Amino acid sequence: MTQSNEFPLSIQNLTFQYRIREQPAIEDLTFTLHEGELLLVAGASGCGKTTLMRCINGLIPRSYRGELSGSITLFGQDARRMPMAALSQLVGTLLQDPERQIVGSFVLNEVAFGLENLALSRGEILFRIEEALNYLGISHLRDRETFGLSGGEKQKVALAGVLAMRPRILLLDEPLASLDPASAQEALALFRRLADEGISIMLVEHRVEDALNIKPDAVLYLDEGRQVYYGDAEGLMQVVDYHKVKLPAPVVLERAKQAPAPVFEPSVKPDGKQPLVMFQDVTFRYDKALPDVLHDVNFTIHKGDVVAILGPNGAGKTTLVKHALGLLKPTQGQVLLEGQNTREISVAQAAQTIGYVFQSPSQMLFAPTVEEELSFGPRNLHHDKATIQQDVDLSLNVVNMAEYRDSPPLALSFGQQKRISIAAVLAMRSRILMMDEPTAGQDYWNYIAFMDAILQMPGFDAIIFITHDLDLAVTYANRVVLIHDGRIAEAGPTESVLSDFELLRRCRVVPTSLLALNLELLPQTGRFTRAEILAHF
């Protein structure tokens, strides 16, 4: 048997406490990563997953200061004694938010960036770029501007830049967060193939059910910085808290039978009568030289609707919702916001009715503290001081971020930034809430908590969210809009649209165990809901 000091990665009694924190972020972790092994790291937000990755790739202690103890060895070498240049050639890291990783203006330059820093020859750089792009199936993006890519495309380009460096260990920080379900399956199959070809992979992921489908060789489960479980995937089901980590629906169904039934009654009630946002024959292109992004879109959002917008990366989902706020104007057709043509009202006027949470929180956040961030919108809408404070406090509690009110938003993790961006819009008390990928980077407990709270908050006339998480639509939406190639493929009641599996697959939406369970029990329940509630039918 191989000795531990020859493993690609060996962690022994690893503990780290950030300088500004009172408790260790990770404590006494011990595990090994074999050659060609795929290790899944699971746990709720704040359990120490990202801190562990920073210890391995050298950001701790070089960029993040604190007290570090224990050992980290890479192929028998002490990682803390290795020069960063040498370490970066062994360990490649894909960050959770591609916006933080991409530095090049064009895809070609982005993939070349790391290679240029290695001072490789021009011929070798070009060869590796083509190799990485071909391997990921994104050669068609080679000459595109990175700014114009979708979130999923940016994630793939960032991965190409990492793979071009030919690392022997690959750290993946929630790589599925920006991907549609079919792309996520393809990415997971790719990670499995990379591991089978000899790269050692540590996959940090909240979408545990999806990750389990590629049969990880081992699973590490962390809770509040401590190692609760390290072993095979089967054993994980017995120890994990299903309230914190989303497990396959049949597993949750059995375990939840012994617990009290959750109570959830949304305050948003559909009436199907009063139109709030109307898309009429909307066609849109970003530039005359470019093809249309939206084609002849017609649909209406009524008062009381909770609408989930589903579809593949690059289908036009974000482009569509930006029209409702007037951030984009139709090339042809019109969008009516409560009867007013969005061409004739300013974005500031529309913002008094619609609050919009951007897909990337870094596009929204700018203030020095979280509290100032949340106060900015209401102050510009001329809310009085007492109301602003009350709404800021409520919004922070809804997203479970009250303890961070004095923190700089941009210093927080991606998942925390996402919750702050949601809270910033909630504090504005808009009557229509539009959220782009609200659950990206969120653990199951947090996203269930804030989605439940949002849907039970009084004052919303409608809620619209773009999502790649089919189970989010199953759990909360009363209507679903499927978009494919800039067209409405289908729109209607959730139970009707999501029962057509062939349609879902054409739109790169992958049916889940929760959807199958809901369809099976629909004659008894009369509605879709989450597994914890289904357990009591």
Q: Is the dihedral of CA 6, 9, 10, 16 positive or negative?
A: positive
DSSP state of 404: G
In the chain, the amino acid numbered 272 is G
Domain pair 4-240 / 267-347+433-442+461-537, same fold? yes
Q: Distance between CA atoms of 69 and 13, rounded to whole angstroms?
A: 8
Q: CA torsion, points 123, 129, 132, 133, in degrees to nearest 10?
A: -130
The answer to whether the beta carbons of residues 195 and 189 sit under 8 Å apart is no
Q: How do 487-493 and 340-341 pair as beta strands?
A: unpaired
Could you identify the residue written with the tokens 């809270």? 423
* Six token digits for residue 28: 């006494």
- The continuous run of DSSP H or E covering 392 comes out as helix 385-398
Q: Write out pLDDT tens, residues 378-431.
A: 999 899 999 999 999 999 999 999 999 999 998 887 788 999 999 999 999 999
Sheet of 432-436, strands arranged across: 354-357, 432-436, 462-466, 306-310, 479-484, 487-493
Could you identify the residue written with the tokens 């997203």? 399
Q: CA torsion, points 469, 473, 474, 478, in degrees to nearest 10?
A: 180
Q: Distance between CA atoms of 101 and 97, rounded to whole angstroms?
A: 7
Indicate the pTM of the whole model.
Answer: 0.85
Q: How do 9-18 and 26-33 pair as beta strands?
A: antiparallel
The answer to whether the beta carbons of residues 310 and 428 sit under 8 Å apart is no
In the chain, the amino acid numbered 238 is Q
Q: How confident is the model at residue 271 (pLDDT cuts 50, 70, 90)?
A: confident
Q: Write out pLDDT tens, residues 119-134.
A: 899 999 999 999 999 9
* Six token digits for residue 117: 């820093």
Domain boundaries, the chain: 4-240, 267-347+433-442+461-537, 354-429
Does the pLDDT at position 3 exceed 60? no
Provide CATH code, domain 267-347+433-442+461-537: 3.40.50.300
- The continuous run of DSSP H or E covering 291 comes out as none
Right CATH for 4-240 from 3.40.50.300, 2.60.34.10, 3.40.50.720, 2.30.40.10: 3.40.50.300
Q: What is the secondary structure of 230-279 as a DSSP string?
A: EE-HHHHHHHS-TTTS---HHHHHHHHTTSPPP----S----S-SEEEEE
Q: Write out pLDDT tens, residues 140-199.
A: 999 999 988 877 788 889 989 999 998 999 999 988 877 888 888 888 998 999 999 999
Percent of the chain residues topping a pLDDT of 70: 99
What φ, ψ does residue 220 adopt, rounded to 5°? -115, 120
Q: Distance between CA atoms of 349 and 293, rounded to whole angstroms?
A: 26
